[in-house]
Amino acid sequence: MSEATATSSSKGKKEAWEWIKALVIALVFAFFIRTFLFAPFIVEGESMEATLHNNERLVVNKAIYYLSKPQRGDIIVFHAEADKDYIKRVIGVAGETVEVRDDELFINGKKVDEPYLAKKREEAKAEGLPLTENFGPIQIPPNHIFVMGDNRQNSRDSRMIGPVDLGTVVGRAEFVFWPIQEGRLTR
């Protein structure tokens, strides 16, 4: 074998090895991001209408709650059942009392404005129905949150399943990325 052929073969092996290393590093990096920082999520169903729509894809920030706890108004993803994740809005946090009277939300006895419900509330009024049936008061236990879907008439949430354990929270919804023309922040 000539010296030129040996050098060419050695150069090819070195280049292949560099590509393999780059691929492994990229895969480890992607795994780290997907496992600990951000994850895609598909909205299934209409429980968050008119804020989020069926089959929209969004990015969930998994790292945010390593540093803080969910706050009222956050849209979160949590493990509701063994093989099912839900996406809902945080309505109340540990230690608070949640109640709905005459289609109005009260936290610790004080009325809370919910501007994100304007469209759904208007639709419900047109049908002669309340958007949210009366319930409560419900005291939220330590290390739990109370969540509801924005489409209150069509949502399986804390009114049925009870307060959500913080240990089941996956992360906070940050933005819709698909369909691309509907891309937007969720906050």
In DSSP notation, 106-169 reads: EETTEEE--GGGHHHHHHHHHTT--SS--EEEEEPPTTEEEEE-SSGGG--SHHHH-SEEGGGE
In DSSP notation, 23-46 reads: HHHHHHHHHHIIIIIEEEEE--SS
Bridge partners of 139? Answer: 97
Q: Give the closest residue to 43 by CA, choosing from 86, 72, 106.
A: 86
Distance of CA 7 to the CA centre of its chain: 54
Active site residue 88: yes
Pick the catalytic residue: 47, 62, 120, 155?
A: 47
In order of 14, 46, 133, the CA distances from 172 in angstroms are 43, 18, 26
Active site residue 47: yes
Pick the catalytic residue: 11, 21, 62, 88?
A: 88
Pairing of strands 110-112, 184-185: unpaired
Active-site residues, by number, are 47, 88
